[in-house]
A and B are shown apart, each in its own frame.
Chain A
């Protein structure tokens, strides 16, 4: 991964409380898994930044290396890697996601 891509990822994670590296945008997702996570955040009414990896091939490959995680989407909450679609969905369903947001002091609809 080149330095520019690494800096781009680090900056997004540092400057946005919730980062969703996804295929497409929150309003026009290009993949069902990316859409599923964007929708969960919309339902919880949390502010999140959707970063479209399809616009940048080095970002698309770089984020996998950065997180040591082979798939997209990927979620970061306050700089911490939370996981991909399966983990976030499981956390949403069993209430762990809300607990995490509470712990991280992020506002959401209760």
Chain B
């Protein structure tokens, strides 16, 4: 099971409505993505917390349907 860019984007947007999201399909296989997420909600949070917010928005899909998603967060 793979996920497409729109599905990933929609889930992150739902959790972080103000987020600017750039997603790249690294291998073109629908399985290895890289996402840069910029959101005001990251302000004052540690990088671990910021990444957890993104992981949580994906509701357990990370590591399952979504094999690899490299994350970079920006305030």
Contact = CB atoms under 8 A, between A and B. Distances in A.
Interface residues of B, number: 12
Range of interface residues on chain A? 10 to 19
Contacts of A90: 47, 72
Q: Specify the main secondary structure of chain A where it touches its partner.
A: mixed
Q: Specify the main secondary structure of chain B where it touches its partner.
A: mixed
Nearest to A80: B48
Interface stretch (A12-20, A47-55, A66-74): A66-74
B62 A70 contact: yes
A49 B71 CA distance: 25
B52 A87 contact: no
B70 A83 contact: no
A86 interface: yes
A68 B72 contact: no
Nearest to B62: A70
B51 interface: yes
